Amino acid sequence: MRLIDAGKIRIKPEYMRDICGVAMIRVEDMARIINDMPTIQSEPERKKGKWLRSGNCIFPYECDQCGDTNERATSFCPNCGSYNRGEQE
């Protein structure tokens, strides 16, 4: 399943038609806009991981999915996007 990334949706002005001050979009243009929108993985397809202690004092947390290090144990890895629920000591 493809989910549209709502944070990146932008309607481009060239797709708009101005008729009597009302913005109009043709059905063909709307289909192209939707098909071209950036997508994200749905919840079941996203990797699930944990933060591991890396031993590095500047970036003490390491994602067990991609190995990227981070200064905080956030709820997701900014590198691979996996949900990292909790911390594994």
Give 34-66 pLDDT, tens digit per residue.
777 777 766 666 788 899 988 888 889 999 999
User: Of 31 and 43, which is predicted with more confidence?
Assistant: 31
Nearest to 76 by CA among 54, 53, 56, 46: 46
List Cβ<8 Å contacts ≥24 apart for 39-42. 39/2, 39/3, 39/4, 39/5, 40/3, 40/4, 40/5, 41/3, 41/81, 42/1, 42/2, 42/3
Mean residue pLDDT across the chain: 76
Q: What pLDDT shows up at residue 85?
A: 75
Whole-number percent of the chain with pLDDT over 70: 64
pLDDT over threshold 70, residue 89: no
pTM (predicted TM-score): 0.47
Q: Cα separation of 44 and 34, whole Å?
A: 22
